[in-house]
Amino acid sequence: MSGEPRVRYQAGEDGIGEIVLVRPEKRNAIDARTIEELFGALAAAEVDENARVILLRGEGKDFCAGMDIGHLEATLSYSHEQLVADAGAFGELFLRMRRTPKPIVAAVHGNALAGGAGLASACDLVLAADDAHFGYPEVHLGFVPAIVMNMLIRNVAEKQAFELVALGDRIDAAEAMRLGLVNRVFSRHTFADDVRAYCVELARRPASSIAFSKALLYEVGELGFSEGVARGVEVNALARETEECRAGIRAFLQRKQRSAE
């Protein structure tokens, strides 16, 4: 079993490249090798010309149950420096996901807990089945969702974030959407088809526009107002220089002209 992959990349079809967590016997729990393979899958998706959207999902009953307890147990004897390096790999994964120009969509079914909830919220969009559950139960182990806190606080209000991590309770998909962790909730019975249709529609949008929007959205969140406006001006100009934008403007004007005739 140790030699089997944790992650599989499925090449783009209908504009969608799929990154699949394939450790269902461990509820897709994350260990060092899973993180390494996720880096590899992201790299494959980036160079896949047929993938305009990256879909992240899990096989089996759950999306991802969080960090592998066995892996955490193995690190109990680590030095402080080793623990920092181990945790740092997970943090670097979140940064890598943000820097990937293609939109990443999480399809969450079953449980997305602890690091699994963080992995979902690190995606640009989150779709959930109506029977999915999210939670940050680290407090019950005397642990802290330290790395995923960066994602949580960017999705929900401060007091709601603290309640989630202080109580460690699970919330259902409807509540997760109300709080801002989830974009859409679909029926569990049609979830796969609904997710596919959503991603196909997203893949139809101009790739350059999506890439600029993603980069600017996250960059502006870390800038002051004046710096954010200045960066927006720069990206506005860059976007208008792309052939996709120029073609879109010409097509719009042609449609307007035909309707006026």
User: Of 13, 18, 138, 158, which is the active-site residue?
Assistant: 138
CA–CA gap between residue 161 and residue 18 (Å, rounded): 30
CA distance 8 to 22: 7
Could you tell me which of 125, 111, 129 has the C-alpha nearest to residue 187?
129
Calculated CA dihedral for residues 114, 118, 120, 126, nearest 10 degrees:
110
Q: Which residues contact 248 (CB under 8 A, 6 or more apart)?
A: 206
CA-to-CA distance for 109 and 136, rounded, in angstroms? 16
CA distance 160 to 138: 16
**Is residue 138 flagged as an active site residue?**
yes
Q: Catalytic residue numbers?
A: 138
